[in-house]
Amino acid sequence: MQKPQKHFDKVVEAVKYFVRIIQILACAGKLYLVTIVLLAIAFGIIPSISVLVMQEIVNTLQTSIRSFEQIVVLIIVYIGIDFLGGVLGLISGYVENMLQMKAAITLDMSVLEKVKELNLRDFEDSETYNLIQRAMGTGISRLFSFFKSFVLFFQSLISLVMFSIILLSWKWWLLPLVFVMPIINTFVSAHFGKKQFIIQKNRAGESRKQWYFQYLLTNDIAFKEIKTFNLGGYFRSKHKQISLDFLKQDKHLLKRRTRAQFILLVIDQAISAAMFVFVITTAFVGKILLGELITYTRSISNIKSSSQGLLSHINSIYQNVLYISQYFDFIDMNTDTGSKGEGEGLILDAIPSIKISNLSYRYKDKDVNALSNININIEGNSLIAFIGKNGSGKTTLVKILSALYNNYEGDVCFGERNLRDIGAEEVRKKIGLLFQDFVKYELSVKENVAFGQLDSFCDDNAIIQALLKTGMQDRVEGLETQLGSWFDSGVQLSGGEWLRIALSRAFIRDAELYLLDEPNSALDSVSEKQVLNSFKELARGKIGIIVSHRIASIKNIVDKIIVFDSGSIDACGTHDELLRTSKVYRELYEQENGIG
């Protein structure tokens, strides 16, 4: 009872996906879609008409019951049908290619739009990367193949019905013999198709690892360390081992499939030979004319191919359901976090102050909190430093303040408005950000800086002013200078120069709150002083928060230092106050200055 229900569920699922794919293809090109369907109907009818016309031509030649002019007309009709089929085939190829190309853009954009809905927590979960890879791996070819299988299914069904009518008019009992092997072949193909899908699905994690090893070996991100530590051989061997493991799995399945197909082929050929011998013998004894011989022979051949096609398309639909479900699994992925979305919530005009009350946060699959019972009041027109050891919770709090995490306990208020009630996009419009793991965009200087404020693309002066604040205006030849080494004429920067480009991206925004995570980590003392002074000037009348390990650099420019320790606040005050009251701060300061 469970198996019929399971098969019925698969049919329902396939129909649902078909409807959704039709909607995707209709968005890409409704006229192309309708044309493909109409052409499929034509392709289903034309072969049987062509066979019947040929039968009439041969029978006429054999019996001489028609005039030469009538035979010429039949030949012209036959050639016309053949020519029409060729023309329609060309049209079909053009229309299908155009629809696929346009739908590929629609499909890619749908994945990228879905990615936009994800939050930082999603990207900290390896299963999200598996879902994205599977969705991207599905591709338009797989979705179009699913749609095409449906179309070809009905095309084969039309052709099957037409030729079956012809054969039924002669010997009905030949039909079961024609159908039996295609049915068996379909079940065997479905069995091995499912096995292949399970293998592909289970290797998603290893496939990503294989891609990562290839990425390390073929990009400059790790080139220096690979050469210095002689890691090339290690990464190549890891990549090769994964490839060999995949090959072993595929080879084993291929052997089993080939053996099964060979056995079925022998049986199929025996049945086909018996049927053809019967038809030819019937013609030899004069029971049917040569035209009818050709018609019945081609009918058997076409019924066989149509039934094989019909069942093959069912099998293709079944297999493609397994694969395209991965695309829709990602598209349907629940991104509801219980808070306001990117474009929802209250409008944020300003950030006059920040109040954090009883804030706690725990990362997924962790046993301890990254932040525990955090309480902070930050007034406007103030510059604050977060100090603490690695893993003490500083960066986590920065991510919460920038609306990247919203599944925290407690409350964060910007002025009188709770952060949860404000749309994430609205929050980020008011924030200038530098993350510790900032992005090095392999694009132009202009793009690298203007990404901090998209409407500044048309304001070269604003971009230049942002570069001036970080001392990068003299380090690049012009705003159109290509950075990085991935593309032609690229200029590679040092780590400190890339950092200053990222700081320029943060400084170009006229923000209410500036959050800088380790802005001085790769800077020399001269550059560090310039950047920090620019930051102090930039944050005047606003709120500035800087995360740093260098106490000596920031102690005299900030109004208050907040000391983090193991996810909690250890102390808060000025540098001199903390030296007296905070053991954690005093130890950090002494370690930095080589005291004790």
In the chain, what are the domains?
2-331 (1.20.1560.10), 382-406+419-593 (3.40.50.300)
- Report the candidate in 474, 518, 463, 515 with the shortest Cα–Cα distance to residue 497: 474
Please report, in tens digits, the pLDDT of each residue of the chain (596 residues total).
Answer: 455 556 567 677 777 888 888 888 888 888 998 999 899 889 888 888 888 877 777 777 667 666 667 778 878 888 888 899 889 999 999 998 998 888 888 888 888 888 877 777 777 777 777 777 777 766 677 788 888 888 888 888 888 787 777 777 777 777 677 767 777 777 787 788 778 878 887 887 788 888 888 888 887 667 657 766 677 888 888 889 998 999 988 898 888 888 888 888 888 777 777 777 777 777 676 677 676 767 777 777 777 777 777 777 777 777 777 777 778 888 787 765 444 444 456 677 788 889 999 999 988 878 888 999 999 998 988 899 898 888 888 888 988 888 888 888 999 998 888 888 887 778 888 888 888 777 888 888 888 888 888 888 888 888 888 888 888 877 778 888 888 877 777 788 887 788 888 888 888 888 888 888 877 666 677 777 777 777 777 778 888 888 887 888 888 888 899 999 988 999 899 888 888 888 988 888 888 877 65
- Report the candidate in 411, 403, 339 with the shortest Cα–Cα distance to residue 374: 411
CB proximity list for 355: less than 8 A, separation 6 or greater: 376, 377, 378, 411, 412, 413
pLDDT value at residue 134:
74
State the Cα–Cα distance between residues 449 and 353, nearest whole angstrom.
28
In single-letter form, the type of residue at position 506 comes to A
pLDDT value at residue 357:
92
Q: List the strands of the sheet with 353-361, edge to edge.
A: 371-379, 353-361, 409-414, 417-418
State the Cα–Cα distance between residues 568 and 410, nearest whole angstrom.
14
State the Cα–Cα distance between residues 382 and 419, nearest whole angstrom.
20
Kind plus residue range of the DSSP H or E element containing 386:
strand 382-388
- Where do runs of H (alpha helix) occur along 64-125? 68-117, 120-123
Query: Which residues does residue 388 pair with via DSSP β-bridges, in sequence order?
Result: 564
Residue with tokens 């404000």: 422
**What is the signed CA dihedral for 453, 458, 461, 466, rounded to 10 degrees?**
20
Residue with tokens 């794919």: 21
pLDDT value at residue 228:
61
Name the burial class of residue 82, with classes exposed (0-12), middle (13-18) and buried (19+) by CB atoms within 10 angstroms of its CB.
middle
- 58 with 294: CB under 8 angstroms? yes
pTM of structure: 0.61
Q: Which two tokens stand for residue 540?
A: 């005047």
State the Cα–Cα distance between residues 191 and 257, nearest whole angstrom.
9
- Report the candidate in 377, 429, 369, 379 with the shortest Cα–Cα distance to residue 403: 429
pLDDT value at residue 299:
73
Length of the chain equals 596
Name the burial class of residue 488, with classes exposed (0-12), middle (13-18) and buried (19+) by CB atoms within 10 angstroms of its CB.
exposed
State the Cα–Cα distance between residues 583 and 589, nearest whole angstrom.
10
- 293 with 280: CB under 8 angstroms? yes
State the Cα–Cα distance between residues 330 and 111, nearest whole angstrom.
8
Beta pairing class for 353-361 and 409-414: antiparallel
State the Cα–Cα distance between residues 556 and 574, nearest whole angstrom.
9
Query: Which residues does residue 382 pair with via DSSP β-bridges, in sequence order?
Result: 543
- Report the candidate in 12, 311, 334, 319 with the shortest Cα–Cα distance to residue 138: 319
Burial 357-394 (b: 16+ CB within 10 A, else e): eebebbeeeeeebbbbebebebeeebbbbbbbbeebbb
